[in-house]
Amino acid sequence: MTVSTSGVPSPSPSAPKGLRLAAVAIVRDEADVIEAFVRHNLAVVDHLFIEDDHSRDGTRAILDALAAEGLAVSVFDGPQEAAYFQAARTKGLLQRAYAVERWDFAFLLDGDEFLTTLDRATLEAELASLPESQAGGLRMWNYLPRPPDETSDPFSFFSDRTQKLTGFSAKVMLPASVAANEELKIEDGNHAAFCFRRKVVVHQLQSVALAHFPVRSHDQIVSKTLVAYCRWRTRPDYDPATTALGPMGAMALLRANPGLRLDSLDAITACYMGATGPEDTVQRPFERLGAPRRYDGLAAIRPYDKAASAVDTIIASLTRLEPGGAASRQAAESGLAKFLSKSLVGRWRALRGGHTTLKAEWDGTVRRLSRSIKKRLS
């Protein structure tokens, strides 16, 4: 596939035949699942590109060990940010991934999501049939955690019980032509994509779906909830009505609990998956692909160390802002005004083909808008 969008080079003519499939993921403190995630998904895609978000557990050590084995996994360091801007960082990771290897399609995954497909040939045939510059949608199986007394297997989250398959496309898969677009915006959670503020058309894929394991053990889900609460609440655009409803609902349960442990995982599971009953679930064994695990010794979970790390990051971020607070704010406001002006001009040119008279009139409007923005921000 040739990508003509500016900003990302096209693949070389000597690229091998057949589609190149990639997957990108931003992970933090996923030591209990990351090895299975890498080995399984590499049985479906050709290359994994992972941004490690300053994990405190064994996640990075496991990823480095897997890369040292020669597996097709590239690991990047994420920025040291208190707030978690998933959408912008996923777009950046896609661009970094395309600079390493010219792939045709990329799956946008979380560290607890596993691609399931009948076979690679069927998957490639369906992807090749997608209309140009349109996305694929993946439905999702949400797997329920097993009661901890059912098995001593540390990977007991690979349960047979799952919610019925969602009837809509829960996550998007992007062709390179869309991922390379400078105007690409990805929705938090990787549920949708937009170009020029218009939603990219999504075709629900039939040959591939996701197996999702958000709740795996008490320590895992408590640490996930505490860290997510800190990082989402730090965002200036946090909206309690729409932002990270699963983690925020789970945090409300932890706050109401008198101790440091929950009596069961049922209530916190419902926050991430919705209420479940016999009529909502089916028995669907999950077949994990790839080689056996080798690094279980690095998979320990320390939930309160992770929570403390999230708080430390917030404190460090506030400290960095204090010395030049006013100057930093002024620079940020000026940058915002310039960004808005440039973006508006770029969109106008794209829509109107650069007509000289109209462009001059529009540029004057943009300059006035820029001055107005600066005045209001100050």
3-state secondary structure of 106: strand
Q: For residue 76, what are the β-bridge partners?
A: 51
261 exposure class (CB count in 10 Å sphere: 0-12, 13-18, 19+): exposed
How far apart are the C-alpha atoms of 134 and 194, rounded to whole Å?
A: 11
What angle separates helix 325-352 from helix 356-377, to the nearest 10 degrees?
160
Are the CB atoms for 286 and 33 separated by under 8 Å? Answer: no
* Burial zone of 129 (CB within 10 Å; 0-12 exposed, 13-18 middle, 19+ buried): exposed
89 close to 51: Cβ distance less than 8 angstroms: yes
* Residues forming a β-bridge with 23: 48, 107
375 token code pair: 């005045």
Number of helices (H), then strands (E), in the chain: 11, 13
Q: What is the pTM of this model?
A: 0.74
**pLDDT digit string (tens) for the chain, length 378 residues:** 322 222 333 333 333 458 999 999 999 889 999 999 999 999 999 999 999 988 889 999 999 999 999 999 999 998 766 556 677 888 889 989 988 999 999 999 999 999 999 899 999 999 999 998 889 999 988 888 876 555 455 555 566 677 766 666 688 999 998 888 888 888 877 888 888 878 888 999 999 999 988 888 888 888 888 888 887 877 777 777 777 788 888 888 888 887 777 778 888 888 887 766 677 778 888 888 999 899 989 988 887 787 777 777 777 766 665 554 444 444 444 444 555 555 555 555 555 554 555 555 556 665 666 666 556 555
Residue ranges of E strands in 143-221: 161-163, 171-175, 184-186, 193-195, 198-199, 202-212
Residue type at 106?
Answer: A
